[in-house]
């Protein structure tokens, strides 16, 4: 073993580059790109998002207790990057980047119609961790485009052309065509 000690750092990758949408009762709608998005529970289905308090979206999510996780494709990398380098303080990202807000079952947070997969979430817990707030949301409704589903309407990640992110780099995530023990349980 030739291990070197390196500084305490985050060595997880790839993580999804996701588009989180949110909104207010004033009609304002926003999108923020987040890579720190994770699955945290299966029953009930729950996801976490880590958001810096200075993001415009932070106050919207904290005030309304709602957000939508929209999963983009690799072809949407410009949209993902744009929503992660512009603030909703200054622009309406839906009109600026030409994407469509569609209301689902939540009161204020819209889906992004152009993303093939969407999860509507209601905030159940908020943790102030330091640099980021962790919002843990229960998925109350999910949506899949036909382009992302296969047999019997099941989501088929082979068809989703997933976009990942790691250490300052965008990645394309390609599923492996393997049939191993754990994959057979799904
Ligand atoms: C690929 C990528 C990943 C990002 N991940 C996060 C993240 O996990 N948490 C966060 O607070 N900001 C993250 N950001 C930065 C925000 O998306 C960015 O500051 C954005 O402009 C904030 O938008 P808002 O002010 O409209 O909320 C990321 C940006 C990019 C491009």
24: domain CATH number is 2.30.110.10
How many domains are contained in the chain?
1
- Give tens-digit pLDDT for 154-175: 999 989 999 999 989 999 988 8
Residue 7 belongs to some domain of the structure? no
Residue nearest atom 18 in ligand 1 by C-alpha distance = 84
Query: Residues with Cβ within 6 A of ligand 1?
Result: 17, 30, 32-36, 50-52, 55-57, 81, 84-89, 165
* Higher-pLDDT residue of 84, 182: 84
Residue 34 belongs to some domain of the structure? yes
Q: How far is the CA of 84 from the centre of ligand 1 (A)?
A: 4
Residue 99 belongs to some domain of the structure? yes
Burial class (CB in 10 A: 0-12, 13-18, 19+), 93: buried
CB atoms within 10 A of CB 54: 9
Residue 131 belongs to some domain of the structure? yes
Residue 55 belongs to some domain of the structure? yes
Residue 62 belongs to some domain of the structure? yes
**Parallel, antiparallel, or unpaired for β 46-51 and 29-34?**
unpaired
137 touches 149 (CB < 8 A):
no
- Give tens-digit pLDDT for 87-107: 999 999 999 999 999 999 999
């Amino acid at each position: 073993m030739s291990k070197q000690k390196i500084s305490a750092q985050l060595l997880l990758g790839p993580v999804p580059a996701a588009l989180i949408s949110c909104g207010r009762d004033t009609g304002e709608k926003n999108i923020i790109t987040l890579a720190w998005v994770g699955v945290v529970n299966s029953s009930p289905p729950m996801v976490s998002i880590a958001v810096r308090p200075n993001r415009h979206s932070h106050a919207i999510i904290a005030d309304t207790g709602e957000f939508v996780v929209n999963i983009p494709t690799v072809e949407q990398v410009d949209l993902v990057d744009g929503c992660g380098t512009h603030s909703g303080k200054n622009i309406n990202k839906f009109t600026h980047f030409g994407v469509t807000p569609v209301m689902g079952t939540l009161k204020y947070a819209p889906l992004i119609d152009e993303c093939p997969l969407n999860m509507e979430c209601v905030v159940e817990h908020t943790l102030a961790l330091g640099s980021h707030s962790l919002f843990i949301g229960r998925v109350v409704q999910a949506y899949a485009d036909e382009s992302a589903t296969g047999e019997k309407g099941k989501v088929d990640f082979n068809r989703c052309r997933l976009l990942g992110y790691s250490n300052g780099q965008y990645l394309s995530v390609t599923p492996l065509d393997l049939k191993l023990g754990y994959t057979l349980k799904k």
